[in-house]
Structure 1
Amino acid sequence: MRFAKQKRHRKTIKRFCACFGFREPFKVLCDGTFVHHLVANHLADTTVSNTLGAPVQLFTTRCVIEELKSLGSSHAKSFRASCRDYKLARCDHEEKESALNCIIKIIGDNNPDHFFVATQDIDLREKCRKIPGVPVLYGLRNALFLEKLSKFQDEYLKAAEDERSRMTDSEFKLLHKRLKNTHGLKDLSTAKNGSDDEDLLLQSPVNRPLRKMDTKDTVQFKRKKAKGPNPLSCKKKKSTSNSGPNVRKTDETGNDAKRSRSRKRKRTHTAKTSNDGATN
């Protein structure tokens, strides 16, 4: 279970980093409910870092600290922890506001400071799901969880990807100019071959054709070329050297070379006479 949770968190964080530009160390903006959850369950600050799998910086706001202070002795430990261990995120409003409104104003429309929002408030979590690029962190007993991308955030990413794949206004104007120069026309209506080009140029930005990717962006595979034979196997065999036991030897006097042969012992077989005792 723990391995599956960590794998799911890594996948979510990787997507936020690739699509929204989150970088380590991650900045976590905590409200009073989340701080109280950590203190009540005796969770160390390193628990947040272990959950996200990266170093983190914990932030809170003055409005959150004032809200904890107003809750009295039941949240006294949480108030002291927020003052001691958390950095302050700048909130520009002059008057004191609720923690929910304060955090929503800091995040804005697109979360420019790349904050992770850590909260136990259901209303705040619901509002953060409707803002692109806002990951939500919450606690459950003695464990922390990172929410997946909401349906709104997922659709936002798909729309942004589709928009990047189509022509921008500057690219569309450049295409218009190039088509005019290539055909040598002043007006597209008088072009000989301008019917197809005119349809292309009159298309709305939504229906414009997809731009071709550069060759650098496409994946290139190297073909394996046929290799030649091993050059060592193609070498000619060397002729046998004239050194060995059966070679011609020259005499010390300079005579012609003679082939040395091993001597064989000759045996004479004498016929045995039947009469051994015969004499002269």
Structure 2
Amino acid sequence: MRQKRAKAYRKLMAMYSMNFGFRQPYQVLIDSEMCKTAHQGGMDLSNLLTTVLQGTVKLMITQCSIHELYLQGKPMQPVVDLAKSFDRRKCNHREVVPGDACLKDVIGETNKHRYVVATQSQSLRSSLRCVPAVPIVHVNRSVMILEPPSGATLKTKERSDEAALRPAEAELSKLSVSVKQAEIPRKKKKGPMGPNPLSVKKKKPAVTQIPRSEPTSTGSKRKREDEQDVADTLAGASQARSGHKRKRRRKTETKLSTGNDCA
């Protein structure tokens, strides 16, 4: 198998596993036509289906499909032996029905048991494409192919993705209750009205007065001594000024006396 095809099949089976709950080993329902094709081409269905589905497989067949091979006579005995090597899937049909109708009844409308169908019947493949989540495998020129997902499968996948993104009904009811509680306005409690804060004067900060210290005896003595010193300096300055003037007067007197003598 080519690498690109193997990668595409791996993604496809991962999608079936994530969205529809397929698990390994994958249960593969095989019809009588697929058994004939495998016998004629010498194919090993177990290995081929393992590589195509990218996982372990469990091959199954219904009793109605085996009975359909019995009706074709002895030439189909090797094909019957090949079909008997697979696990039996009970179809609960009391009377034998054709293989296509039997597989349709086993798959049902939703493929509840997560079957992969390997068939060569064109009519069966076209009818199973209308059922969501049914992987279909067929052989084309000795190459086993896994068909891409049908439209019904893609639609159910989109619905499941949208449902996963949306919250559940219980969560929606809780959200609606919380929104209603938030929308209800709360009533203010009436009480005594306080004064207008703009009209209230601010209190002036209290000024702390520093207590004056009483003069001590040493301080009074120092003040007296300072006053006495100031008085002494003032007296000395006044005496100095008065003595200087007297000297000037004496000089003038002597000048006058000398002038008078010359005269």
> TM-score normalised to the size of structure 1?
0.61
Match of 1:53?
Answer: 54
Matched letter for residue 54 of structure 1: G
Matched, 1:90 2:90: yes
Match of 2:31?
Answer: 31
**Residue 36 of structure 1: how far off its partner (Å):** 1.1
- After superposition, residues 121-132 of structure 1 pair within 5 angstroms as 121-132=121-132
Q: 1:63 and 1:120 mapped to 2: Cα distance? A: 16
Q: Secondary structure at the match of 2:133?
A: coil
Q: Please list every run of 5 or more consecutive structure 1 residues that lacks an aligned counterpart in the other structure.
A: 186-190, 192-280
Matched letter for residue 50 of structure 1: T
CA contact (8 A) 1:41 1:141 kept: no
Match of 2:162?
Answer: 162
Q: 1:179 and 1:93 mapped to 2: Cα distance? A: 56
Matched, 1:112 2:112: yes
Q: 2:69 and 2:147 mapped to 1: Cα distance? A: 25
- After superposition, residues 1-280 of structure 1 pair within 5 angstroms as 2-44=2-44, 45-83=46-84, 85-184=85-184
CA contact (8 A) 1:63 1:98 kept: yes
Q: Secondary structure at the match of 1:106?
A: helix
Q: Secondary structure at the match of 1:96?
A: coil
Runs of 4+ in 1 over 4 A off after TM superposition: none
CA contact (8 A) 2:19 2:160 kept: no
Between the two structures, name the one with larger relative contact order (CA 8 Å, sep ≥ 6).
Answer: 2
Q: Number of residues paired by the alignment? A: 186
CA contact (8 A) 2:30 2:119 kept: yes
Matched letter for residue 171 of structure 1: E
Structure with the largest fraction of helix: 2
Q: Secondary structure at the match of 2:60?
A: strand
> TM-score normalised to the size of structure 2?
0.65
Q: Which has the larger radius of gyration?
A: 2
**Residue 41 of structure 1: how far off its partner (Å):** 0.4
Compute the RMSD of aligned alpha carbons: 2.1
